[in-house]
Amino acid sequence: MTPLVSALPVDPCLRPGKIKTFERSYRSLLLAGVALLGLSSGADAATYYVATTGSNTTGNGSLTAPWQTIQYAANIMVAGDTCQIRAGVYRETVTVPRSGTAGSPITFQPYSNEVVTLSGTDAISGGWTLESTNVYYAAMTGSLGDGDQVFQGTGTQASLLMKPEARWPNAGSSFPWQNSSIKPSPDWAYIDSATYDANNQNGTLTDSSLPARAAGYWIGATVHVMGGYGWIMQFPTVTGSTGTTLTTNDANGANAAYKFTAGNEYYITGIKGEMDSPGEWFYDSAHSRLYLYSNTGAPTNVEAKKRNYGFDLRGRAYVTLQNLDFFACTIETDSGSTFGTYDGLSMKFLGHSVKNSSVHGLQVQANSVLRNSELAWDSQGLITARGDARIINNYLHDSGYIPGWTPMAAGTGARNLITYNTMAGAGREIMGAEGSAAIIDYNDLSNAMRLGTDGGVLHCGSAEAGNSIFCYNLLHDSPGPAGHLGASVMGFYLDNQSSDWVVHHNIIWNLPGYAMQINCTQNFIQFFNNTCWNAAEGALLTSFPMNEESGTHIFNNLFNGPPVGGTWDLSDIRYNLYTDPQFVAPTSHDFRLQSTSPAINQGTPIPGVTDGYLGAAPDMGALEYGGTDWTGLVGYKTVPPSPDPVYSMPSMSFANQVKDGSFESGALAPNWSTTGTISILSGTAWTDPRLRTGSYDLQFGVGTTSEVSQTVSGLLPNRRYKVYGGVRRTDASTVVKLGVRNYGFNAVETVADIVDRTTPLAPGESRNGDATWWTEYNRSFVTGPSSTSAQIYLNVTIPTGNAPVYADDFGVELMEEQDPQPGNMPLLEYPLNETSGVTAYDGTTHGLNGTLNGGATWGLGVSGNALYLNGTDAYLTTPAMATPAEITVGCWAKSNTTTWNDNGFLVSKRPSFVLHPNMGTKDVRFFVTIGGVAKTVYFTAPAGFDITQWHHYAGVYSPSLGKLAIYVDGVHASSAAVSGAIDADSGQIFIGKDDYPGRFFNGSIDDVRIYDRALTDDEVAVAFNIDPSLILRFKLDETSGATQAWDASSNGLNGTVNGSATWTTGKVDGALGLNGTNAYVTSPAMASPTSEITVGCWAKSNTTTWNDYGFLVSKRPSFVLHPNMGTKDVRFFVTIGGVAKTVVFTAPAGFDITQWHHYLGEYSASAGLVSIYVDGVFKGSISATGNIDPDSGQIFIGKDDYTGRFFNGTIDDVQIYSRALSWDEVLDLSVRTNGPPY
């Protein structure tokens, strides 16, 4: 085919910048040909010129004969063309009829840096008529309704100022802002009182300051009111007025957050008679008249908004707008407006509506960029990034002066990049939900929440952020409105139902609220290395706890106070500092660390977050000591960042690995696969309990088995993960299984065992704080040695007639390999397993044995025996001991009475601390005394709580965390922000009696433990969830000189270290080094398990093959876990009827016993198997039945109890159970390292 252009005449004199007259015809023909043939004409780029003095009739689009309107040029332009626009104001909406192409955009820009303004206004011309004193009118046809906007100036475009609609009270000097920095403010009126009718409709307000007007005068007016808690502005219409009372159509009487409330701010518009201030206006639609109040004669230089848009780019791609000004208009785009470039724009008053209509800001669509621009003044927000958008190096300010729920900068879709921007002055939040997998960095954010309450500099809710990253930002100086009912301004605020955020290296200061807040339900929130200073209410708050939050980790932060609010028991909060970090000059906003800072080298490494740290460990906080001070890079700069930032999501092994785990895309594909009958359910979790969070979840069909699954990739091999899934199941006969398969080992699953709430929400009831609607299930798994993916699934079988099952909020997160059992030996531990006598033996190696007093006796306990107390004279005392600086106190207790018979008597050491009940109730308290004042936290027993059954009670105090907490049955009950040193005491501790006279416990106590440190929530939970089958555990974490090995099983079977053993670094914390000649450990004499046993340990040889036989864990004749001398093999046998039943691990080529490996043998008579595992992997089994031959002697560690066989190597964490562990329990033992979290 002959190219079309070859048939057209070509003038050899044509040159760049010179357009011949005939070219208009040439290009018209070309366009027609392109349209017919579907060809691109981008190779024939041209430049056209437009000027306000030009002509669309006689011009030819050249520099010397330009066209008059931009639209005329746009009609002709094709890919690659440029329109150069001469200085002036262009009052038009330019509709671009075609797209550019990649590398050949259609470009509109000023000529030679001249100032070009696209204006949405028209001048009011035709003369003004005086109607009454200072009130003039002029003809004005057409109206934008709620979007009407009037400006007046002194004759230049830059002088135009927005004028207020007729109103009472009059606008102040900061208009269009209301002055809420003081209260009372002359800009506002205030409600004295309010009522609603019987149906909570038709709100009535009374204000004694309302000016005297005739009855009915205010009918039809609009009340602009910050109702209820003052979250947003509302706009009810007046339906009746008498004296100082207005009746409206406001229907929020049942909603305290929005209803008229005494003290609420408001003003009134829409009444012509209220024109009494220069510049006030009123539009009379019936007569097409604009009225203006002027006390200087007839108005001049008045303009009214007539157009919402300066450009219409709907459906157009590859269009560039460069260095243009927009006044009282914006750019209209849609999902087809892709690959746009908006560079160097100045946009003022982009959108306006007194009732928050849909026209606001600039919508930056996919693969488009807004850079180097100033956007200012919009009644709502300034930008919305619609997915795959880049917002780079812009100055955004003054938006939301009619405060609604739209932030200054919002985002939807996925993969938005918002970087190097300065944003200041917002009626509500500056930033909100920014889409999924967004990157928000190097932004300077200030003066948020000028008018609204209960928000933050960043504030969002009901959003799955898809691991959005918020880092290297400054959030500061946002005082908020004065004297309002609502909550103060927060810094980074994730409201209810937020998930999947990674928030690191931000600095937050000078706020009246909390620096950071997370409301529930929330999941997978990561706060790392943030610095918080001068947040008046505190550093970290959570509200509406529902005990189903998970995946939240808060590490390496500098907080100006401890975490407060609801429960944090399912959150992982460590490596943070709550005291003075010694900043260089915080009042001057220099948050670098001094050389003496306690935050230096005290953090934990987090891959992709703390990389490149200096010193032994990362520092806490946002600025590494001696590292780069990145704060100078933040915000808009006149010299743009170079190179141009691009979107690049880093690898984050610690983040949630599930894609679209909350189904907020509204679709299953492409991330999820299904079988059976599964559908997407839409609604809102705020009011519909069928949804756990957000707007979407899954509904499983009835009468069938269905399954949803996702293959999660990017996992690390040989690491522990946990899969989570929220489930709503209301019938016990419905079977729900959360599981994992195809990850390198056998499938594992958890079966739902909780029936969730079925009763509906009561009128006005909120789901906030109610955990009975949903249950979050989880399952741990360990990836195979080469596995980097796993398939997670939820399998549901619903019998006909049962209710549907709903599922939401799936996640997979990397789990650290920490041993959940408290790593340190307690300061004191009384297992209370004695059967007679007056001595309670200390289960630690400290030897702090207790003494029974009065009529105390021994009896059956939670695990083994317990101490029985008579309520009159029986108790237990410890030796005299000093009070630790940090403390955990815990015990099991069971009352003989249905309410506590007295006060003060569980564990008491006055004045330092007391864990005690409240007489006549079922409640328990824990207090520490600081400076003579008891600091107390409470457990208030719920209905049905039975203290005549065993329960575990624990109190924890950490002065470094500033946290005092109480736990019941391993679950956090309450906490308080407390700091300071515990008052010292060097006397005894009383158990079962208060050391205040005459208070004795009538009941039983078991397993009393006191730690000289604050246990974590997980560690407290382990103390409650005792595994009675763990009969012996030597963690072997002692230090040099120790001659005993602590038994961490709570059975008090401490071992004896023999020979020349040495304490050294182990696989899990410490270990015991053995010399192969005389070093070993022995347990006390103990009976062997009979029908089931598990024996495991870590071992590392000093020789390349085993130096002898029999010496890992030996208790002949019952069982032995031992190597084969001269090989790398390991055997396990149990002796049944005098015959050793032996299973062998034959080491493969390359197996290196000089490295740490975990060896484990087990026997189950019921299964009929003797099995062996190495590093958690099953290596073989043999058949065997019958009971193990009994033995009541010692257990030997590192030596065979057959003479002369000693281990030359290192041994660690020996564990013996009286049951056969499941495979995944074995695997769990083999991956514990107690290293850093990641």
Convert the pLDDT of each residue in 965-1016 to its tens digit.
Answer: 999 988 878 888 788 999 999 999 999 999 878 899 999 999 999 999 998 8
* Model pLDDT, residue 3: 30
Three-state SS for 411-471 is EEEECCEEECCEEEEECCCCEEEEEECCEEECCEEECCCCCCCCCEEEEECCEEEEEEEEE
Q: Measure Cα distances from 610 to 529, 594, 601, 699 in Å.
A: 8, 19, 11, 41
pLDDT per residue as tens digits for the range 1062-1102: 999 998 889 999 999 999 999 999 999 999 999 999 999 99
* Model pLDDT, residue 570: 63
User: Is it the case that residue 1220 has pLDDT exceeding 90?
Assistant: yes
Amino acid found at 900: W
pLDDT per residue as tens digits for the range 1171-1205: 999 988 899 999 999 999 999 999 999 999 877 79
* Model pLDDT, residue 547: 58
User: Is it the case that residue 315 has pLDDT exceeding 50?
Assistant: yes
CATH superfamily, domain 673-814, is Galactose-binding domain-like (2.60.120.260)
Burial 270-295 (b: 16+ CB within 10 A, else e): bbeebbebbbbbbbeeeeebbbbbbe
pLDDT per residue as tens digits for the range 1208-1219: 999 999 999 999
User: Is it the case that residue 381 has pLDDT exceeding 80?
Assistant: yes
Q: Is 1236 exposed, middle or buried (0-12, 13-18, 19+ CB in 10 A)?
A: middle
SS3 1019: helix
Domain boundaries of the chain, sorted by first residue: 129-304, 308-632, 673-814, 828-1024, 1030-1230
pLDDT per residue as tens digits for the range 623-635: 999 999 999 999 9
pLDDT per residue as tens digits for the range 48-70: 999 999 999 999 999 999 999 99
Q: 315 and 307 in contact (C-beta within 8 Å)?
A: no
Q: Which CATH class is domain 828-1024?
A: mainly beta
Lookup result for tokens 């398939």: 791
Per-residue confidence at 27, pLDDT binned at 50, 70, 90? Answer: very low
- CA-nearest of 745, 856, 724, 851 to 792 is 724
CA gap 377, 428 in Å, rounded: 14
CA gap 627, 597 in Å, rounded: 14
Per-residue confidence at 15, pLDDT binned at 50, 70, 90? Answer: very low
Q: Report residue 464 CA to chain centroid gap.
A: 9
SS3 1227: helix
Beta strand 135-139 with 289-293 is: antiparallel
Residues linked to residue 739 through DSSP beta bridges, in sequence order: 749, 793
Per-residue confidence at 6, pLDDT binned at 50, 70, 90? Answer: very low
Average pLDDT for 83-110: 99
- Sequence-distant (≥ 6) Cβ neighbours of residue 1153 within 8 angstroms: 1099, 1100, 1101, 1103, 1104, 1105, 1106, 1123, 1128, 1147
- Sequence-distant (≥ 6) Cβ neighbours of residue 662 within 8 angstroms: 464, 499, 693, 694, 696, 697, 808, 809, 810
Q: Which two tokens stand for residue 1045?
A: 């090995």
User: Is it the case that residue 220 has pLDDT exceeding 70?
Assistant: yes
Q: 1013 and 947 in contact (C-beta within 8 Å)?
A: no
Task: Show the DSSP H helices in 687-807 as ranges.
Answer: none
User: Is it the case that residue 357 has pLDDT exceeding 60?
Assistant: yes
* Model pLDDT, residue 1016: 80
CA gap 1181, 1161 in Å, rounded: 9
The conformational region for residue 320 under phi > 0 = left, psi -120 to 50 = alpha, else beta, is: beta
Per-residue confidence at 459, pLDDT binned at 50, 70, 90? Answer: very high
Average pLDDT for 549-565: 86
* Model pLDDT, residue 758: 83
- The CATH number assigned to the domain with range 308-632 reads 2.160.20
Three-state SS for 163-220 is ECECEECCCCCCCCCCCCCCCCCCCCEECCEEECCCCCCCCEEECCCCCCCCCCCCCC
- The CATH number assigned to the domain with range 1030-1230 reads 2.60.120.200
| Angle, alpha carbons 548-554-556 (nearest 5°) | 170
Q: Do 308-632 and 673-814 have matching folds?
A: no
pTM comes to: 0.84
Provide DSSP, 114-137: --EEEESEEE--S--EEEETTEEE
| Angle, alpha carbons 619-621-627 (nearest 5°) | 55
Per-residue confidence at 905, pLDDT binned at 50, 70, 90? Answer: confident
Q: 553 and 814 in contact (C-beta within 8 Å)?
A: no
User: Is it the case that residue 1 has pLDDT exceeding 70?
Assistant: no
Burial 212-242 (b: 16+ CB within 10 A, else e): ebeeebbeebbbbbbbbbbbbbbbbebbebe
User: Is it the case that residue 153 has pLDDT exceeding 70?
Assistant: yes
Q: Which two tokens stand for residue 631?
A: 């704060």
Average pLDDT, the chain: 92
Lookup result for tokens 């899969």: 723
Per-residue confidence at 769, pLDDT binned at 50, 70, 90? Answer: low
